[in-house]
Structure formats: structure tokens, C-alpha cells
């Protein structure tokens, strides 16, 4: 038992190993596999220090977003000075946008190698959730892998949250493989999306493990909303497009691996895609597995999923545990250095599907910053897949806030994915295939097929007013949708 090999600590005792100014790496790729008690105790310690007039903040590195007991608790306690690479917590977002927390937004596949290269400094403490840990230092993770293998390898001290809530059989779907740094990095030995190339455990020097904290807590993951009409329409447009691509011979009859970002739109699109029998059963090579994907695996419509996290509602996760013999060969949990690996995405021919905040008429996509300035969540893994996909698709409802915001704008207020990487744009109104299209033709396709009808006259008028050139823009008016929204609360003229 772990208690015989390592000290069993309370969360409060474990928190004493984390000091002001420490760089802390944690498990968690979404709320899946995120630590639940130790960082919450660190937040309480920070509050007490601040009350006493003492400084206490850490630099926090994770796999992606985490749960309220990690990102939320630390943000509310003013216990974070620096955060990377991705987040989705409201309290943390507010502090990033008011300048209280420095946030480094970067591609998820970059974080493990940045740690390997020393770009992010020394990791003082790693706090990682596991289903078990052996005296030899074999750490078997829970519902995500993320960057945990890298943090365990490089941290000076390690704290294990041993979570009894999760099924110990999770070890059967883990595949831990860490690419070596250059110049000794070999090609990934992946020939198919579901190939297993590593071990079921992370290896850590047992001398670094300062203690184990026992818990019995579910992941703090919410479910997904029932898809609305807009999401259903987007899903149908994507399904029609892929079916047509197969008919034209541009996608093989056996289909290609699919990646879908996290969120209600992606979850709804996957459900629609999986129910369309013009498209054969296909594998997923993705970064998150959502509820709809589990349903599609159970129905035989998805052959299996390679992922970094099981981002499931509590009910769906229990369904997986209750039918583990069915899912054991259909799910592979990998480090994000592999799940998001650009070389694998390009070679396997992954079709990427991600959600945009806004798209401009030439196909530039903003995934991160509202009105160009206020961080929403971060780029996450969307760039890892988009830049290297066989076909890259971006999806968004055409309007938000009852029509006060158009997702199709003259000029994106921030660009995460440029027109060289974005191939297909989809809203509930239609689909614009931008492949091999020059800028003016892209603009016509996006306005006519994707923009909400109420905004099409404004977009057409802008396009006609723009100067001549390869990619015409009227720089005096390029951001008038955004400035009008900031001044009046609507992109639509009064």
C-alpha cells in the first residue's frame, strides 16, 4: 500500500511543502484528473498569509484548464502570480483581464517540451492525482494525463493525491510516452490513432515523493447542454460536407481520424456526425473525450479515441466504469505531447473541428480574446491541430447575445489562426469551403454562406468600401463592429 512506502499527509500538511514564489506543476486537463484538495489548502494558506500581511503567490503550470478547487480556489485567494497554458475559470479569467495574474497563452503541445528545455524555469513541486503509486515510483494517473509525466520528472518535490473515487482499472487505458528532446527526438511510433506505444504508468524517483494525500472525490466536470437548433444545423452542415468529400474521393472511404475541441458546440456536432450513416465509423485522435463520443463508441459509430483526458459528466464517467470491459480497448489516454503532437496530426490525416469566437471575412479566426483584448480561455490545442490538419474546420453560431454580436466580422480583433491554416468555416446558416480560394472569393463565401442575414448588408458594404489590393481592408473602418459594440452594446447600428 502507498501508505507503507510514503507518508500519508492531510491536505494542509502537504500544502506546507509549497512556498511563496514556487513554480508548481499540477495534473488536470480540463477538470479531468485535476487535483482537488492540496491546492485548495494552499489557497487557504495564502489567505492566511495575506491577512497577516505576508506575500504568498505561486506560479502555476497545468495541462490545460482545471476545476474550481484548483484554479478557482487559488484565484479567489490571490495565490497565483503567473499561469499557463489554458484556463476556463471565471475568477481566474477576471484576474487575468484586470492584470492581477500574468497569463501566458500558448499551444498545449508546447508546454511539456518548454519544461524539458528549461524555458519555464525549475519546477519546485508537482501535485498530481493518481489511482495508485508503487514504492518503486510507478504513478498510475486518473482521468487525464496532460503534462503530468513531465512535471513528475522535473519537479524537485512530488505530492500525490491518491483518489479512491476513480476505478483502478484506469491504468489499463493509459499510454505514457514522452518524446526525447532534440536532437535525439525520434518520430512517434504511431501508425494508427489507437496504437499503444508507451507504459501504463509515469515513472518518478520515489525519493522525490514527500507524501500521499488520500481523497475520494469526483472530477469537478459539468455536463453539456442539450444542443440547440443552431448547433444541430452546424452539425448537419459538417456531416454533409464530409459526406460530399468522401463521395468526391478527397476523403478515403474508410474515413480519417477526427479531432473535436471541447464545448457544447463540438459535443453537439460530434453527436450529429456520429448519427449520419453516410459516414463510416471512424477513430478519434483528439485531446478531450466528451459525453457524445462515449455514446458513439458504445454504438459502434466511433471505433475508439486517443485523447489526453476523459472530460465526461459524472454520470457518463460512471457508465464507462460500469462497462470498462467494453471501453478498455477503445480508449487511450496519452500525454499532451503526444495527443496534440503536430507531426502525428499531419501524418495521420486528422480532420480538426474547433470553435471560434469570431471569424473575419477573409478567414482569420479569433479563438481567445473578446474584442481583441479580454482573454476568454486561451488557444488550448486548437492551433496544434488546425495548422497540421488534413482539413481544418472552425464552427460558431453566427450571432450571440440575441444578435448584438456577429461572429462574422470585417477584420478579426485578434488572430489565433490565420487564413493560411483555416480551410472551412461553418455556422448554422451554412458552410464556406475556403480551400484554394483567393481572399475576395473567401470573403464572398463567408458573407453569403455563414454570416447572419441581418449582418450581411453591413459586411457587403464594408467589403465594397475597402481599398483595392490582394486582401482589401478599409483600415479606418476595419474594427467598426467592435467599436460600435463597446460604445452601444451592439454591433448593429441603432
Helix (H) or strand (E) holding 146: none
In 245-320, the DSSP E strands lie at 258-260, 282-285, 302-307
Condensed to tens digits (0 to 9), the pLDDT of residues 381-400 reads 999 999 999 999 999 999 99
Q: Compute the average pLDDT of residues 98-121.
A: 97
In 308-456, the DSSP E strands lie at 331-333, 351-355, 358-360, 365-366, 369-370, 374-375, 391-395, 399-400, 405-406, 408-409, 424-427, 430-433
CA atoms of 395 and 446, how far apart (whole Å)? 12
CA atoms of 99 and 84, how far apart (whole Å)? 15
Mean pLDDT, the chain, as a whole number? 96
- Structure-block grid coordinates of residue 378: 486561451
Total residue count of the chain as it appears in this document: 494
Condensed to tens digits (0 to 9), the pLDDT of residues 239-270 reads 999 999 999 999 999 999 999 988 888 888 89
Percent of the chain past pLDDT 70, that is, above it, reads: 99
Give me the residues paired with residue 163 across strands.
215
Terminal alpha carbon distance of the chain:
68
Query: Which candidate, 395, 127, 192, 350, places its Cα nearest to that of 259?
Result: 350
Residues 6+ apart with CB under 8 A from 49: 20, 55, 56
Residue 78, by phi and psi: left (phi above 0), alpha (psi -120 to 50) or beta? left
Q: Compute the average pLDDT of residues 222-251.
A: 91
- Structure-block grid coordinates of residue 89: 475559470
2 pLDDT band, cuts 50/70/90, is: very low
Q: What is the pLDDT of residue 347?
A: 97
CA atoms of 490 and 161, how far apart (whole Å)? 47
Q: What is the pLDDT of residue 1?
A: 41
CA atoms of 21 and 295, how far apart (whole Å)? 44
| 80-84 and 58-61 beta bridge pairing | parallel
Query: Which candidate, 49, 29, 30, places its Cα nearest to that of 41?
Result: 49
Condensed to tens digits (0 to 9), the pLDDT of residues 170-216 reads 999 999 999 998 999 999 999 999 999 999 999 999 999 999 999 99
Residue 104, by phi and psi: left (phi above 0), alpha (psi -120 to 50) or beta? beta
Q: What is the pLDDT of residue 334?
A: 98
Q: Compute the average pLDDT of residues 269-292.
A: 94
- ∠29-30-33 over CA atoms, to 5°? 60
Written as one string, the DSSP assignment of 395-436 is: E--SEEGGGTEESEESS-SS-SB-TTT--EEEETTEEEE-TT
Q: What is the pLDDT of residue 222?
A: 74
Residue 219, by phi and psi: left (phi above 0), alpha (psi -120 to 50) or beta? beta
Q: Of 116, 161, 245, 287, which one is the catalytic site residue?
A: 287
Query: Does position 165 have pLDDT exceeding 60, yes or no?
Result: yes
Q: What is the pLDDT of residue 223?
A: 66
| 102-103 and 399-400 beta bridge pairing | unpaired
Q: Compute the average pLDDT of residues 142-150.
A: 98
Distances (CA, A) of 48 to 22, 53, 55, 58, 171: 17, 9, 10, 15, 38
Residues 6+ apart with CB under 8 A from 297: 303, 304, 305, 327, 330, 331
CA atoms of 244 and 380, how far apart (whole Å)? 30
Note if 315 is an active site residue: no
4 pLDDT band, cuts 50/70/90, is: low
Amino acid at each position: 500500500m502507498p501508505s507503507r512506502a510514503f507518508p500519508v499527509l492531510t491536505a494542509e500538511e502537504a500544502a506546507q511543502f509549497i512556498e511563496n514564489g514556487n513554480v508548481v506543476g499540477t495534473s488536470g486537463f480540463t477538470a479531468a484528473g485535476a487535483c482537488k484538495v492540496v491546492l485548495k489548502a494552499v489557497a487557504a494558506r495564502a489567505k492566511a498569509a495575506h491577512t497577516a500581511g505576508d506575500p504568498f503567490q505561486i506560479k502555476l503550470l497545468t495541462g490545460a484548464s482545471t476545476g474550481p478547487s484548483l484554479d478557482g480556489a487559488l484565484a479567489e485567494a490571490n495565490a497565483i502570480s503567473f499561469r499557463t497554458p489554458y484556463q476556463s475559470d471565471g475568477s481566474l479569467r477576471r484576474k487575468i483581464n484586470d492584470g492581477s495574474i500574468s497569463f501566458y497563452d500558448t499551444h498545449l503541445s508546447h508546454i511539456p517540451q518548454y519544461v524539458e528545455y528549461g524555458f519555464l524555469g525549475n519546477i519546485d513541486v508537482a501535485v498530481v492525482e493518481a489511482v495508485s503509486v508503487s514504492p518503486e515510483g510507478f504513478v498510475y494517473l486518473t482521468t487525464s494525463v496532460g503534462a503530468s509525466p513531465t512535471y513528475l520528472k522535473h519537479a524537485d518535490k512530488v505530492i500525490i493525491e491518491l483518489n479512491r473515487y476513480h476505478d483502478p482499472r484506469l491504468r489499463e487505458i493509459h499510454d505514457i510516452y514522452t518524446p526525447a528532446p532534440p536532437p535525439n527526438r525520434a518520430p512517434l511510433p504511431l501508425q494508427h490513432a489507437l496504437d499503444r506505444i508507451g507504459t501504463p504508468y509515469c515513472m518518478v524517483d520515489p525519493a522525490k515523493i514527500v507524501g500521499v494525500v488520500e481523497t475520494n472525490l469526483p472530477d469537478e466536470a459539468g455536463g453539456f447542454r442539450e444542443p440547440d437548433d443552431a448547433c444541430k444545423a452546424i452539425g448537419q452542415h459538417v456531416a454533409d460536407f464530409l459526406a460530399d468529400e468522401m463521395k468526391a474521393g478527397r476523403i478515403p472511404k474508410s474515413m480519417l481520424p477526427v479531432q473535436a475541441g471541447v464545448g457544447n458546440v463540438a459535443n453537439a456536432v460530434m453527436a450529429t456526425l456520429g448519427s449520419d450513416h453516410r459516414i463510416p465509423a471512424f477513430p478519434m485522435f483528439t485531446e478531450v473525450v466528451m459525453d457524445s463520443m462515449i455514446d458513439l463508441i458504445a454504438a459502434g459509430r466511433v471505433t475508439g479515441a486517443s485523447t489526453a483526458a476523459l472530460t465526461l459528466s459524472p454520470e457518463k464517467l460512471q457508465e464507462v466504469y460500469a462497462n470498462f470491459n467494453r471501453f478498455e480497448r477503445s480508449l487511450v489516454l496519452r500525454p499532451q505531447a503526444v495527443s496534440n503532437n503536430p507531426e502525428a496530426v499531419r501524418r495521420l490525416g486528422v480532420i480538426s473541428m474547433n470553435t471560434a469566437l469570431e471569424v473575419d471575412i477573409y478567414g482569420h479566426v479569433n479563438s481567445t480574446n473578446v474584442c481583441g483584448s479580454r482573454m476568454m480561455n486561451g488557444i488550448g490545442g486548437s492551433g496544434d491541430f488546425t495548422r497540421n490538419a488534413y482539413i481544418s474546420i472552425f464552427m460558431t453560431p453566427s450571432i450571440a447575445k440575441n444578435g448584438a454580436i456577429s461572429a462574422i466580422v470585417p477584420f478579426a480583433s485578434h488572430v489565433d489562426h490565420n487564413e493560411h491554416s483555416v480551410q472551412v468555416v461553418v455556422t448554422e446558416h451554412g458552410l464556406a469551403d475556403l480551400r484554394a480560394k483567393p481572399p475576395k472569393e473567401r470573403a464572398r463565401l463567408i458573407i453569403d454562406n455563414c454570416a447572419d442575414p441581418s449582418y450581411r448588408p453591413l459586411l457587403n458594404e464594408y467589403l465594397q468600401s475597402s481599398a483595392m489590393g490582394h486582401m482589401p481592408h478599409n483600415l479606418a473602418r476595419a474594427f467598426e463592429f467592435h467599436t460600435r459594440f463597446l460604445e452601444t452594446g451592439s454591433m448593429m447600428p441603432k
